[in-house]
């Protein structure tokens, strides 16, 4: 994985000092809260219902054991012994004191980590495929390109006060595991006539006006990635709406201009920027690539699995994913225990995951946008030992991509913008399906919950989505069906009138009953919905 | 301060400039709006508001000695692009950031080509000097033409 050199370290250290200085000026009253807010936001510090929340960047979701140990230590030292992994492949802490935040950032910097640009109207942490470097279907590892863009976007002088936040994802396979087309810019590394380049999708997003990004250029040569991205951003910075924060995302600009006109303006800017010599040297990409080279996989490893223990066999079926190297798999650690808080991990669990990362996965793990952890390179022969350790730590939930593998935002339990709680709904749904034993039968079923229209829980992209709304002061939940964030990206549609909390849990069960009744062989919930449409589900819910 | 006075001349005066990184004599009068600038053939100082298109000035760079870019609120970042657009077109006169200009924007503004600063509220000198000097190196090209880290790494 990528390691800092003296330049990267100096940048992060300078940032810690800058923030220490800003915090001092705030505490001394030299900065008003209005002036301090954008500065703390650019360091990942939000003021929430009960305390400050700090969001730590995990570039393209990749961590080593030392970093995971530090995340655990931070949970103990500055929070209440927990961390919360999020849909942006980051980690959040919910109980931070402002006075301690500079020390926390210094601790992070000591393991090559930071909270830079994890919030605010700037280019955010860049996300990627959580199976990068392990997936059999990828063209190349997308992370060197993500790292190149990480550097370019860090402290970008022109793009630190954009109309709104800006999120970039980079993938390099046709299977999309990063919700690429639901980002402000989605980049897919592609091959044309034997050369690599990047397809740019611009103007996707969730929030109150969800949109799937259109492709605005099918091929940007690799040495022009940065000028092209810069052109996309400059057009947005100059013309994105600033009169209404709900219309300020780039998706609205692309939508209002039309993708052709937006693309035309980008091309014009791009041609100009090419004359400015702003692209990083190709040698830099070549320097970055070896950091992401394959670890030394062993050859001739056994591939058989002893399935005599049914619990272990179930976990393997659900949580182990094929790998490009024979004898290996990627193992997904579910942070979705039945009745638990999706994405939460205790400090003790993080320490254990760090140990397992070191022992079984070439010292590398990943955070997924589905709020789980991946050990990307595990020997099949080690799986049983790994599972035994995970089980002892309460981390062996066999439920990846099932209805129990719920994405949920913090909701009204923590978030000041929430209309309704998300976490208790997630807890009750996983309990319901664990108790009725249907989880396995339902197979792949992606359920996503947001506590308000901002859609942090990706409800638009759920096979089943749940959206918390406020109905005359009472928490109410709308049900949505048919979304997908994969390569077949689609936006979910609302079924009809909402439900109260017990009602939404029943409603989820009702729609799964319709699926079980109607499905053809081999169909997932999403496939059945797409074939039969909304009506049969509505009929069962409201008929 | 921001109001246009007699003859449409407005903007900041040289006395209001707190930091200046140039040796030439400052223009001793105020600026005109982009619209009046385009109407008048002799004006040499102009003021850009966030909604103005800096590109409209490009045919006239030869006669410009001062461009003032107004930040009515610091969080409106359009002026950063305006500055780079001008510098990329080789505008060499004074580029002055005015309005809601705060300590923590100084280094970024400087990188986009601003070489004079006239904040609405005078800034603490010590904090400002520290802010200008904060970043020993930078990751990307901008109007200041510093060699970025990806180039420094390769000699
Ligand atoms: C608890 C504090 C949080 C606050 C105040 C907050 C605020 C917001 C707001 C206002 C938006 C809408 C932005 C827009 O449409 O322009 C948004 C979108 C989003 N947030 Fe959060 N959020 C919070 C936590 C989270 C967490 C914990 C996650 C990850 C689990 C997250 C991930 C996202 C994602 C993925 C989007 C949608 C991105 C898009 O619109 O393209 N947020 N958030
Ligand atoms: S979706 Fe709404 S409730 Fe949930 S975290 Fe985002 S802003 Fe808060």
Domains A134-289 and A407-542 are alike in CATH topology: yes
Instruction: Give the separation between CA A136 and CA A237, rounded to whole angstroms.
Output: 38
Q: Over range A258-287, report the average pLDDT.
A: 96
CB distance A76 to A347 below 8 Å: yes
What percentage of chain A has pLDDT greater than the value 70? 100
pLDDT given at position B9: 64
Distance in Å, alpha carbon of A235 to nearest chain B alpha carbon: 9
CB distance A147 to A288 below 8 Å: yes
Domain ranges (residues) in chain A: 6-109, 134-289, 310-392, 407-542
Asked which of A187-196, A411-420, A500-509 is least confident by mean pLDDT, the reply is A411-420
Q: With an 8 Å Cβ cutoff, are A157 and B136 in contact?
A: no
For residue B1, pLDDT beyond 80: no
Q: Over range A403-412, report the average pLDDT.
A: 95
pLDDT given at position B7: 45
CATH 3.50.50.60 fits A6-109, yes or no: no
Q: Over range A82-93, report the average pLDDT.
A: 89
Ligand 2 atom nearest A420 alpha carbon = 3
The side-by-side arrangement of strands in the sheet containing B94-99 is B19-20, B116-119, B94-99, B66-71, B45-48, B32-33
A53 lines ligand 2 (CB under 6 A): no
For residue A14, pLDDT beyond 60: yes
A121-168 tens-digit pLDDT: 999 999 999 999 999 999 999 999 999 999 999 999 999 999 999 999
Distance A210 CA to ligand 1 centre (A): 13
Residue of A nearest to B82 (CA): A238
- pLDDT bin (cut points 50, 70, 90) of residue A431 is very high
Phi, then psi, of A160 in degrees rounded to 5 = -95, -10
Q: What is the pTM of this model?
A: 0.94
Q: Which residues contact A339 (CB under 8 A, 6 or more apart)?
A: A427, A430, A431, A434
A36-50 tens-digit pLDDT: 887 888 788 988 777
Chain mean position to CA A417: 20
Q: Over range A225-238, report the average pLDDT.
A: 98
B82-128 tens-digit pLDDT: 999 999 999 999 999 999 999 889 999 999 999 999 999 999 999 89
What CATH class does A407-542 carry? alpha beta
Distance A455 CA to ligand 1 centre (A): 6
Select from A13, A86, A16, A93 the least CA-distant residue to A54.
A93
Instruction: Give the separation between CA A43 and CA A40, rounded to whole angstroms.
Output: 5
pLDDT given at position A43: 85
Distance A543 CA to ligand 2 centre (A): 31
Q: Over range A526-542, report the average pLDDT.
A: 98
**CATH architecture assignment, domain A310-392:** 2-Layer Sandwich (3.30)
In this structure, which CATH number among 3.30.470.10, 3.40.50.1100, 3.10.20.600, 3.30.413.10 belongs to the domain A134-289?
3.30.413.10
pLDDT given at position B3: 43
Whether chain A has a CB inside 8 Å of the CB on B122: the answer is no
Using a CB–CB cut-off of 8 Å, the residues of A that contact B are 5, 7-8, 10-11, 14, 17-18, 21-22, 25, 30, 35, 38-39, 121, 151-152, 154-162, 226, 234, 237-238, 242, 272, 276-278, 280-281, 283-284, 287
Select from A274, A264, A286, A266 the least CA-distant residue to A227.
A274
**Which residue of B80, B97, B134 to mutate against A (max A Cβ within 10 Å)?**
B80
């Amino acid at each position: 994985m990528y390691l800092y050199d003296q330049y990267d370290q100096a940048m992060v250290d300078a940032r810690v000092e800058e923030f220490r200085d800003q915090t001092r000026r705030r505490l001394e009253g030299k900065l008003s809260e209005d002036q301090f807010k954008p500065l703390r936001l650019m360091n990942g510090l939000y003021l929430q219902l009960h305390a400050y929340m700090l969001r730590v960047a995990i570039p393209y979701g990749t961590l080593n054991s030392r970093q995971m140990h530090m995340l655990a230590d931070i949970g103990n030292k500055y929070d209440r012994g927990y961390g919360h992994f999020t849909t942006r492949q980051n980690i959040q802490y919910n109980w931070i004191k402002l006075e301690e935040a500079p020390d926390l950032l210094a601790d992070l910097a000591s393991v090559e980590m930071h909270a830079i640009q994890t919030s605010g109207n700037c280019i955010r942490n860049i996300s990627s495929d959580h199976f990068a470097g392990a997936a059999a279907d990828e063209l190349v590892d997308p992370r060197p390109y993500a790292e190149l863009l990480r550097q370019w976007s860090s402290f970008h002088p022109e793009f630190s006060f954009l109309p709104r936040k800006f999120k970039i994802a980079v993938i390099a396979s046709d299977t999309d595991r990063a919700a690429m087309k639901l980002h402000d810019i989605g980049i897919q590394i592609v091959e044309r006539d034997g050369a690599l380049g990047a397809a740019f999708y611009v103007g996707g997003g969730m929030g109150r006006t969800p949109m799937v990004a259109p492709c605005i250029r099918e091929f940007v040569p690799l040495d022009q990635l940065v000028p092209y991205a810069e052109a996309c951003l400059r057009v947005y910075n100059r013309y994105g709406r600033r009169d209404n924060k709900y219309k300020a995302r780039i998706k609205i600009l692309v939508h209002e201009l039309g993708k052709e006109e937006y693309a035309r303006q980008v091309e014009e800017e791009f041609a100009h920027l090419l004359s400015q010599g702003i692209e990083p040297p190709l040698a830099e990409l070549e320097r970055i690539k070896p950091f992401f080279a394959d670890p030394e996989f062993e050859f001739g490893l056994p591939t058989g699995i002893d399935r005599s223990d049914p619990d272990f066999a179930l976990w393997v079926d659900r949580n182990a994913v094929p790998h490009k190297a024979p004898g290996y798999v990627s193992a997904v650690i579910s942070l979705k225990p039945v009745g638990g808080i999706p994405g939460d991990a205790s400090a003790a669990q993080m320490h254990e995951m760090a140990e397992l990362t070191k022992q079984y996965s070439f010292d590398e793990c990943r955070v997924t946008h589905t709020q789980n952890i991946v050990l990307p390179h595990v020997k099949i022969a080690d799986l049983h030992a790994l599972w035994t350790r995970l089980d002892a730590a309460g981390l062996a939930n066999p439920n990846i991509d099932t209805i129990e593998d719920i994405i949920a935002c913090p909701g009204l339990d923590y978030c000041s913008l929430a209309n309704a709680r998300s976490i208790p709904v997630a807890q009750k749904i996983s309990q319901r399906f664990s108790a009725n034993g249907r989880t396995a039968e339902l197979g792949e079923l992606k359920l996503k919950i947001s506590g308000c229209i901002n859609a942090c829980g990706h409800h638009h992209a759920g096979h089943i989505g749940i959206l918390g709304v406020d109905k005359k002061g009472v928490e109410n939940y709308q049900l949505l069906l048919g979304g997908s964030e994969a390569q077949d990206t689609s936006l979910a549609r609302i079924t009809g009138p909402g439900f109260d909390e017990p009602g939404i849990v029943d409603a989820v069960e009702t729609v799964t009953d319709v699926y079980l009744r109607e499905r053809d062989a081999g169909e997932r919930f999403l496939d059945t919905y797409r074939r039969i449409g909304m009506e049969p589900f509505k009929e069962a819910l409201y008929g | 301060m921001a109001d246009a006075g007699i003859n449409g001349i407005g903007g900041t005066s040289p006395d209001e400039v707190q930091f200046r990184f140039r040796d030439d004599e400052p223009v001793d009068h105020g600026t005109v709006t982009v619209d009046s600038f385009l109407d008048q053939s002799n004006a040499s100082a102009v003021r850009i508001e966030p909604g103005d298109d800096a590109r409209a000035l490009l045919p006239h760079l030869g006669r410009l000695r001062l461009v003032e870019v107004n930040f009515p609120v610091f969080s409106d970042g359009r002026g950063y692009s305006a500055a780079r657009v001008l510098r990329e077109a080789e505008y060499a006169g004074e580029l002055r950031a005015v309005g809601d200009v705060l300590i923590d924007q100084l280094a970024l503004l400087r990188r986009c080509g601003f070489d004079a600063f006239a904040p609405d509220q005078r800034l603490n000198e010590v904090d400002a000097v520290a802010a200008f000097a904060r970043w020993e190196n930078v990751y990307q090209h901008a109007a200041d033409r510093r060699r970025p880290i990806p180039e420094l790494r390769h000699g």
